[in-house]
Amino acid sequence: MDQSVLFLFGLLIVMMILRSVFTYLQYKNYRQTKEKLAEMGGILGVGARKSPPFQWTASSAIVLLVWDPDTDRVVACSALKGAYLWNRFKSMEVVGLSLEEIKKKAIDDDYRLNKKEREKTPYTAHTADPKRRKGALLQAVEAIEGYLKNQSKERPNAAFDRNKMREAVEKRKDQLKS
């Protein structure tokens, strides 16, 4: 074989190995951030937005949002924006806001990101999003709302009984520590 073909083949293998290493490091960072936020107590919502085809770094994001049922406020929020392999989670400035305030902000962001699509079909809550183009922050809020809705179906008064919710959060903390 020609020397340049061997060089290109070797370079391709090195690039694949580097990508695997960076992907592993990014996943490890995701897992550590998720565990750190889960230990804070409250309810953890995760949202992930895929970027449009052929715009790999444009607007993909993962958002981790922790909501405290006692105070009805967000305790922590971290986001990983962009598809670059060396990106890490960074805090978002939504701490201290209620879910309703964040949802309004997230709907505005979703409209900005998906302007053409939202002009055709406006946002509707908790609808299936097979292309995962809905904003990541909005998905995280909807995940928390979905959890609360499921809890209230299992126990009709759970959504209003903060003591039971606090006990459930404490049990979850103990399970995570074990």
Chain centroid to CA 36: 14
The stretch 92-100 carries a mean pLDDT of 88
pLDDT computed for residue 32 by the predictor? 93
- pLDDT(59) > 90: no
pLDDT computed for residue 17 by the predictor? 95
pLDDT computed for residue 162 by the predictor? 62
Q: What angle do CA 130, 30, 48 make, to 5 degrees?
A: 20
Q: Where along the chain do its domains lie?
A: 3-177
The stretch 43-48 carries a mean pLDDT of 89
Say what the pTM is: 0.71
- Residue 129, classed as helix, strand or coil, is coil
Q: Dump pLDDT digits (tens) for 139-178.
A: 888 889 888 888 766 655 544 566 677 777 778 778 877 7
Q: Dump pLDDT digits (tens) for 12-41.
A: 999 999 989 988 888 898 899 999 988 888
Residue 130's pLDDT band, with cuts at 50, 70 and 90, is low
pLDDT computed for residue 66 by the predictor? 93
